[in-house]
C-alpha cells in the first residue's frame, strides 16, 4: 500500500504538464505586464515562514490558521508553508526597512500557496496566486486604481463580464465595535449557531458573517449592518472610492455582507467573481482589501496598505477557450544517418534565427515521424534524405495546407524565418 501511494502526487496538489503550460505562461506574462504598467515590481519571499507570522498577520480564529496550515517543526523552529502571500510580503517590507527608503512601494508576487482545504473544483491544497501589495498610500484613489487595473487585466486575459463586489469594513476601531455589535446580537441565539460559530462567538464574531452554514445565516437575520457603525472618515473613504470607480467606468456592486475570511482587513474589501457556469462554487477569481494596521502590527511603522490575490488555476478555468498552441514551428524528419546529421545542423541554424524546431532523431519511418509532426501541431515539416542532400535542397511541407515544395538548402532558413515572422503559413 505504502509503495502504491508513494508514487502519487499529494491529494489536492497538481502537476502542470507541458501540454498545459502555454496557457499558464500566457496568463503569467499578462499579469506581469499589467503590474509593470502600474509601476509594480516583483518580490519573491520564501515559501516557508515562521508559523507565528501567519498566526499574527492572518488572525488566530480564521479557517486558514485554525485548520488549513501545513505547519511543522524543524531545528526547534515552528514553521509553516505559506498559505497566502501578504504576511510574507509585509514581513519582508518591515524586515528590510523599506518604508525608510521610499514613501510608496508597489510589490507583486506570483507563486504557490498551501492550504489543507477540502479539495474540489477550483480549490486545491497547493494553488498558485498572483497578487500585489501597495504600501504607503491610504487614499481611496489607490484602491480604485487597483480594482480598475485588475478589471483591465481580467479582460485582457479573456474573462467575460467579471463582477466586482465591494464593501467597507471601517477602520480598526469600527471593526472592533462592529464585531462586538454582532456578538451581542448573536449571544442570545448562541444555541442556534453551528458548532464552529459557537466557538467563534467569543473569539471573533465577525467571522460568523461569512460562515457557509445555513443555521448561521438564519441566526444572522436582522443583525446590525456594517453601515450603521462606520464613522464619517470611513464613509468618506468609501464614497470617494466609488466616485473614482465611476469615473474609471468600473461597474461594481456594494455588498454589505462581504467580510472575507482573513482578519487583517480594514476599510475597503473587494472580490471579483467570474462566471458561475464555468467556475461553480469557486467563482471568486480575486479577493483583496486594505490592511492599514498590519505593517505596524508586525513591528513596522504605521504604514497603510492595500493588496489582492487571485487564484491562477481559477483564472485558467475561467479563460479556457480550448485553443492549443504549436509546440514548435518546424519539425525535421531526416531519413537515414547522414540526413540526421544534416538535419541537426539545419535545426541549429533555424534556432539561431529564432525558429523553434524539433528534430526526430529516432531513425523512425516517415509515417511515424509525420504523425509526431501533426501531434506537435508544427506548421512546417522538413523532409531530408540522401537524394535531397545530393541535390542541395530540402522538401518543405506546409502541414496545415498539406502542400509540399522544394527549397534550396541555402535559402530555407531565411525563407522559413521570414514566413514565420510574418505569421503566413
- Give residues in contact with ligand AMP (CB under 6 A): 84, 115, 117, 122-124, 127, 129, 261, 284-287, 309-311, 313-314
Question: CB-wise, 125 or 183, nearer to ligand AMP?
Answer: 125
Residues with Cβ within 8 Å of 345's Cβ and at least 6 positions away in sequence, in order, are none
Q: Kindly state the smallest distance separating residue 124's Cβ from ligand AMP, in Å.
A: 4
Phi-psi region of 278 (alpha: psi -120 to 50; beta: other; left: phi over 0): alpha
Beta strands in 143-207 (DSSP E): 163-168
Cα 163 to chain centroid distance, Å, stands at 17
Q: Kindly state the smallest distance separating residue 62's Cβ from ligand AMP, in Å.
A: 10
Q: What is the dihedral of CA 170, 171, 173, 179, to 10 degrees?
A: 40
Q: Kindly state the smallest distance separating residue 253's Cβ from ligand AMP, in Å.
A: 16
Question: CB-wise, 315 or 393, nearer to ligand AMP?
Answer: 315
Are the CB atoms for 234 and 171 separated by under 8 Å?
yes
Question: CB-wise, 86 or 197, nearer to ligand AMP?
Answer: 86
Q: Kindly state the smallest distance separating residue 292's Cβ from ligand AMP, in Å.
A: 17
Would you call 377 helix, strand, or coil by DSSP?
Answer: coil
Question: CB-wise, 85 or 140, nearer to ligand AMP?
Answer: 85
Q: Which residue is nearest to ligand AMP (CB)?
A: 311
Q: What is the dihedral of CA 416, 418, 420, 423, to 10 degrees?
A: -140
Question: CB-wise, 124 or 153, nearer to ligand AMP?
Answer: 124
Question: CB-wise, 127 or 291, nearer to ligand AMP?
Answer: 127
Are the CB atoms for 363 and 335 separated by under 8 Å?
no
Are the CB atoms for 381 and 416 separated by under 8 Å?
no
Question: CB-wise, 252 or 331, nearer to ligand AMP?
Answer: 252
Q: Kindly state the smallest distance separating residue 254's Cβ from ligand AMP, in Å.
A: 19
Q: Kindly state the smallest distance separating residue 5's Cβ from ligand AMP, in Å.
A: 22
**Cβ atoms < 10 Å from Cβ of 347:** 23
Residues with Cβ within 8 Å of 193's Cβ and at least 6 positions away in sequence, in order, are 186, 201, 208, 213, 215, 216, 219
Q: What is the DSSP letter of 225?
A: P
Residues with Cβ within 8 Å of 169's Cβ and at least 6 positions away in sequence, in order, are 175, 178, 226, 259, 265, 266, 267, 269, 289
Question: CB-wise, 306 or 369, nearer to ligand AMP?
Answer: 306
**Cβ atoms < 10 Å from Cβ of 391:** 11
Question: CB-wise, 261 or 326, nearer to ligand AMP?
Answer: 261
The residue to which cell 485554525 is assigned:
66
Residues with Cβ within 8 Å of 103's Cβ and at least 6 positions away in sequence, in order, are 136
Question: CB-wise, 11 or 235, nearer to ligand AMP?
Answer: 11
Please work out, in degrees rounded to the nearest 5, the angle formed at the alpha carbon of residue 37 by the alpha carbons of 269 and 251: 40
CA–CA distances in Å: residue 347 to residues 30, 174, 334, 419: 30, 66, 11, 16
Amino acid at each position: 500500500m505504502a509503495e502504491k501511494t508513494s508514487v502519487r502526487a499529494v491529494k489536492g496538489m497538481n502537476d502542470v504538464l507541458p501540454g498545459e503550460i502555454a496557457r499558464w505562461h500566457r496568463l503569467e506574462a499578462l499579469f506581469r505586464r499589467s503590474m509593470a504598467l502600474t509601476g509594480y515590481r516583483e518580490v519573491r519571499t520564501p515559501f516557508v515562514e515562521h508559523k507565528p507570522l501567519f498566526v499574527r498577520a492572518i488572525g488566530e480564529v480564521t479557517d486558514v490558521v485554525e485548520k488549513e496550515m501545513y505547519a511543522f517543526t524543524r531545528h526547534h523552529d515552528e514553521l509553516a508553508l505559506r498559505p497566502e502571500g501578504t504576511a510574507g510580503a509585509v514581513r519582508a517590507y518591515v524586515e528590510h526597512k523599506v518604508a525608510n527608503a521610499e514613501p510608496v512601494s508597489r510589490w507583486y508576487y506570483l507563486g504557490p500557496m498551501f492550504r489543507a482545504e477540502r479539495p474540489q473544483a477550483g480549490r486545491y491544497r497547493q494553488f498558485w496566486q498572483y497578487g500585489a501589495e501597495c504600501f504607503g498610500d491610504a487614499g481611496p484613489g489607490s484602491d480604485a486604481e487597483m480594482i480598475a487595473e485588475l478589471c483591465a487585466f481580467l479582460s485582457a486575459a479573456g474573462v467575460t463580464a467579471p463582477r466586482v463586489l465591494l464593501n467597507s469594513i471601517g477602520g480598526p476601531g469600527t471593526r472592533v465595535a462592529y464585531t462586538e455589535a454582532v456578538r451581542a446580537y448573536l449571544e442570545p441565539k448562541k444555541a442556534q449557531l453551528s458548532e464552529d460559530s459557537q466557538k467563534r462567538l467569543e473569539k471573533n464574531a465577525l467571522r460568523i458573517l461569512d460562515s457557509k452554514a445555513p443555521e448561521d445565516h438564519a441566526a444572522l437575520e436582522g443583525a446590525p449592518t456594517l453601515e450603521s457603525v462606520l464613522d464619517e472618515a470611513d464613509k468618506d473613504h468609501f464614497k470617494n472610492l466609488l466616485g473614482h470607480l465611476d469615473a474609471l467606468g468600473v461597474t461594481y456592486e456594494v455588498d454589505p455582507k462581504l467580510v472575507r475570511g482573513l482578519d487583517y482587513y480594514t476599510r475597503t474589501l473587494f472580490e471579483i467573481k467570474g462566471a458561475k457556469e464555468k467556475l461553480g462554487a469557486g467563482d471568486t477569481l480575486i479577493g483583496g482589501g486594505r490592511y492599514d494596521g498590519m505593517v505596524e502590527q508586525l513591528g513596522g511603522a504605521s504604514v497603510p496598505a492595500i493588496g489582492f490575490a487571485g487564484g491562477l488555476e481559477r483564472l485558467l478555468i475561467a479563460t479556457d477557450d480550448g485553443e492549443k498552441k504549436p509546440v514548435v514551428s518546424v519539425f525535421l524528419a531526416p531519413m537515414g544517418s547522414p540526413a540526421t546529421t544534416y538535419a541537426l545542423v539545419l535545426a541549429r541554424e533555424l534556432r539561431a534565427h529564432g525558429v523553434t524546431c524539433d528534430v526526430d532523431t529516432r531513425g523512425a519511418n516517415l509515417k511515424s515521424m509525420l504523425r509526431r509532426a501533426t501531434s506537435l501541431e508544427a506548421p512546417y515539416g522538413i523532409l531530408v534524405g540522401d537524394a535531397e542532400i545530393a541535390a542541395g535542397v530540402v522538401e518543405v511541407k506546409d502541414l496545415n495546407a498539406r502542400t509540399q515544395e522544394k527549397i534550396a538548402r541555402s535559402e530555407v532558413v531565411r525563407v522559413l524565418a521570414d514566413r514565420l515572422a510574418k505569421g503566413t503559413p
